[in-house]
Amino acid sequence: MKKLPRIILPFMLLFVAVSSNSQTRMTGCMENSGQGNMLVFIGQKIDLQVVKTEKATFDAIFTARYRILEIVCGNYNSDTIEFTVLDHYGRPPFEKYPTVLLYLVEDSGKYYHEKYQYQDLYKTNDGRWAGPYDFYDHDRTDDTINPVKPVVLEFADEVSFDITRLKKQEIRRYYPEPYYRVAGGKAIAVYGNYVNELFELKKRGVLRARGYFGVPDTTTHDIPLQSVVFSGEYKISKKDKKLLLKAWENLLEAINRNDTQKIKQLSLDSVVCSVCEGFASPDFYNDVEPIDTFITSTRTILPGSELWNNMKNGEFKISATDYQDMEPSHFRPSKPGKLIIYEVSIRTQINFGVWYNNQVHNFQFVKVNNGFKFYGVESR
């Protein structure tokens, strides 16, 4: 079997318009009345073409044609189907997989892909279709009653995913043991679920939240007042602005000259370091790392990146935020419970093929005595 990289995208809710004159719900699908008819099927791609980019929602629009191998939920009287796909990040990731479980909603005779919802499928030794363990579906499902647990599966061919471009936190999160075995730059699937269980996970998770199955969870939970962190924009004085810009210039110069001792003098002993694992993935974890780890990244990862070019070109803006009742593990504010973070913010873009996504990298400083110390770089 050809091994394909598994692409995991962040979960985003999108309202899919349906006609108020929708047909009565299909009892076999257990859909909620008024939500349109759902079609869930095992399919293989015939064609997928971009139509346009919708500027109002920043979505790319595609027309897809798929061969229907098996209908899991709903009714359809042909072995091929055409439907519309919207994706904010570029080409739909499900097209990368030979066989997928897809979720469509019918509106006025046309079918629309339920945004981002799919599961890649593979044959097991007993001839059934199954999918590997998926962090997102299991994490979003209420399994307090009759839990849908992943089981050890014997796939007919090895099911594995390239992890050479992922950060260590992503590997731990999306391909955790014992559900995956990590070896040789790939994550090999060990646990998973059969199609009926995959569908059940969606019904209890995303599709329930979107109103298609069951009763959406609208429960609110009271948060103790003392656990709330209040924050707001903090006005920087002219004196502090001057000192902040000087600290930024000194840090930039020290990085440019690979001056390890200078960087340490300008920084806390440990700093937030979103860039310490590079830019291969769009996800940043903003972990606290020893200053030595940050220094290593400035030598091996930062040079040649768009971020570094923008840093040198002086393309930034400054701001400050006042955080109350917040004391980070690597820094103790001079006034307990009052943390002011000063930021030098730099933007970059990631090309998703048909759309660009902006990222912001905040180089953060905190005031120590009469000057500023580098607190870290946080990216989002």
The whole-angstrom separation of Cα 306 and Cα 366 is 25
Give buried/exposed letters for 151-163 (b at 16+ CB in 10 A, else e).
Answer: eebebeeebbbeb
What residue ranges define each of the domains in the chain, with the CATH number in brackets? Answer: 37-209 (no CATH), 229-379 (3.10.450)
Who has greater pLDDT, 335 or 295?
A: 295
Question: For 283-319, how does the pLDDT look when each residue is reduced to its tens digit (9 = 90+)?
Answer: 777 888 999 999 998 998 888 888 999 998 888 999 9
Q: Tell me phi and psi for residue 297, to 5 degrees.
A: -65, -30
CA distances from 279 to 88, 255, 284, 379 (A): 20, 18, 9, 11
SS3 304: coil
Q: Flag whether pLDDT at 180 surpasses 80.
A: yes
Strands 267-273 and 371-379, bridge-based pairing: parallel
Q: What is the DSSP letter of 355?
A: -
Question: For 51-84, how does the pLDDT look when each residue is reduced to its tens digit (9 = 90+)?
Answer: 876 555 557 889 999 999 999 999 999 999 999 9
Confidence of residue 20 (pLDDT cuts 50, 70, 90): very low
Alpha helix positions (H), the chain? 135-139, 168-174, 195-204, 206-209, 238-256, 260-266, 291-300, 306-313
Give me the pLDDT at residue 23, please.
32
Question: For 235-271, how does the pLDDT look when each residue is reduced to its tens digit (9 = 90+)?
Answer: 999 999 999 999 999 999 999 999 999 999 999 999 9
